[in-house]
A and B are shown apart, each in its own frame.
Chain A
Amino acid sequence: MADWVEACAVDDVEEEDVIRFDHGGRTFAIYRSPDDEFFATDGFCTHEKAHLADGLVMDDIIECPKHNGRFNYKTGQAKGAPICVNLQTYPVKVEAGKVMIQIA
């Protein structure tokens, strides 16, 4: 059964930015798009273990800080070398000013 977990407050994430969220020994990345929507993915790049929360959000792209690999953070799709493996995404909802993510 997948649980909804409170990740952060809405105001914790700036528009077109990302923050790190650790839970249950795992690391996630919480994104706020330029359209003011929230998204969540695994927190580490699938290429090498780098925190995506240190990367750059541009439109619907997160760029890894280590090798500049890019993902679509809305779909998890890898956008080319050096990224070959898609990123796991998680359902997100906003309730009472809190960002909730559903973790399997």
Chain B
Amino acid sequence: MAGTMKRDYSLVGESMRRAIETGLASAEWYHTDVSRKAMKELMQRSDGPAIRDTIIWIAAILGSAAGGIYFWGTWWCVPFFFVYGVLYASASDSRWHECGHGTAFRTRWMNDVVYQIASFMLMRNPVTWRWSHARHHTDTIIVGRDAEIAVMRPPDLVRAMLAFTGILDFRYSLPTLVRNAFGNISPDERSYIPEMELPKVVTAARWHVGIYVTTIAVALYMWSWLPLVLIGLPRLYGTWHMVLTGLLQHIGLADNVIDHRLNSRTVYMNPISRFIYWNMNYHVEHHMFPMVPYHALPRLHELIKHDLPEPNPSMWHAYREVWPVLLKQLRYEDYFLKRELPSTAQPYRGEFHDVNVSAAAAE
């Protein structure tokens, strides 16, 4: 289907029109059968795990910041800022994500507070990104509909590698905040944000920009880079872990399908990365059942893994698997990785993508 025409990743272009015409937009997605009783248990909210994890997160941020400030001007500050940067600019992504879903804490205001703080750390407009992420869940990796496709086809491998430095995201995020602060909202943004929410986009952007301007003023007053190393610049030097884990969510897998087993990836990870990432390595499970909190995803995985492709045993394994797929996509952008289902699984839903699966998939 998508192979017959060039992909248009704007949200107001030809691929968008085609997705709506063919029924790919807002479609009914495949779900593994889970009893209501089991799902109710998995969906249950609790403040405990997220309060514990947030205390650890904040304490580690403050501790590493204190070390960085104490050793500022010497090489000893580097390991402290290495830790600080990852906690600031990578761990905040998963906190933003879970609290945006409202699943991290049972208490709503706790989700909202952490969501706002994490959005600021990420230079993300908290209003815009709430809506873009809703669209990402409605139309996951549907070209022309999903605003959060990290690696488009054919893949730009230089951009993908530069993403680890945070430079590209920084160059996109900061100007976007400034543009929004001046009341300028793009056609793409308007395509997924309701009209009544637009004033909130501008207000949020003005708060963020105001804090950055204040930080710059303090840095100039102190005649020191330190305030900016603490606020803003971690988005450059601490993003790598977010990209390392986040790229694997969908890269190299199918697009324009309505079965998360075809376009999302579950990867087993080490406990430190899982803490930073808040278990989003169980990504097929999360997309299939976004109501399940991060701390219950390992249990959900155990319950439904009979119906899912075998998870990658490590990030290294996943990147080794996807690299040749990306190289092939440079020449043939319809190529993708179709992962085998176990014999206990229901077959893939194919009504929208039979042609692609048979013609282009890498077995």
Contact = CB atoms under 8 A, between A and B. Distances in A.
Given A48-B26, A81-B130, A67 B197 contact: no
A66 B102 contact: no
Contacts of B196: 84
A68 B133 CA distance: 11
A56 B127 contact: no
Contact of B138 (A17, A56, A65, A67): A67
A68 B103 contact: yes
B131 A68 contact: no
B73 interface: no
B197 to A, nearest CB: 7
A81 B26 contact: no
Interface string A62-101: 0101111010000000010110100000000000000000
A49 interface: yes
Nearest to B192: A82
Interface in A5-31: 17
B66 interface: no
A20 to B, nearest CB: 10
Nearest to B127: A81
B145 to A, nearest CB: 12
A67 B106 contact: no
B194 A84 contact: yes
B291 A68 contact: yes
Nearest to A55: B291
Given A56-B43, A81-B197, A84-B196, A65 B291 contact: yes
B124 interface: no
A87 to B, nearest CB: 17
Contacts of A48: 26, 138
Contact of B106 (A54, A58, A65): A58
B102 A63 contact: yes
Given A48-B138, A49-B26, A84-B196, A67 B45 contact: no
Interface string B261-291: 0000000000000000000000000000111
B235 interface: no
B45 A66 contact: no
B17 interface: no
B290 to A, nearest CB: 6
Interface string B30-48: 0000000001100111000
A26 B183 CA distance: 42
A82 B102 contact: no
Interface string B288-324: 0111000000000000000000000000000000000
B137 interface: yes
A55 B44 CA distance: 11
Nearest to A67: B134
Contacts of A47: 134
Nearest to B196: A84
A81 B138 contact: no
Contacts of A55: 291
Given A56-B43, A56-B291, A70 B127 contact: no
B131 A81 contact: yes
A82 B26 contact: no
B290 A66 contact: yes
B260 interface: no
B59 to A, nearest CB: 28
A65 B130 CA distance: 16
B102 A68 contact: yes
A27 B40 CA distance: 21
A81 B127 CA distance: 9
A82 B291 contact: no
Interface string B120-155: 000000010011001001100000000000000000
Contacts of B208: none
Interface of A: 17, 47-49, 54-56, 58, 63, 65-68, 70, 79, 81-82, 84
17 contacts: A47-B134, A48-B26, A54-B39, A56-B43, A58-B45, A65-B289, A65-B290, A66-B138, A66-B290, A67-B134, A68-B101, A68-B102, A68-B103, A68-B290, A79-B108, A81-B134, A82-B134
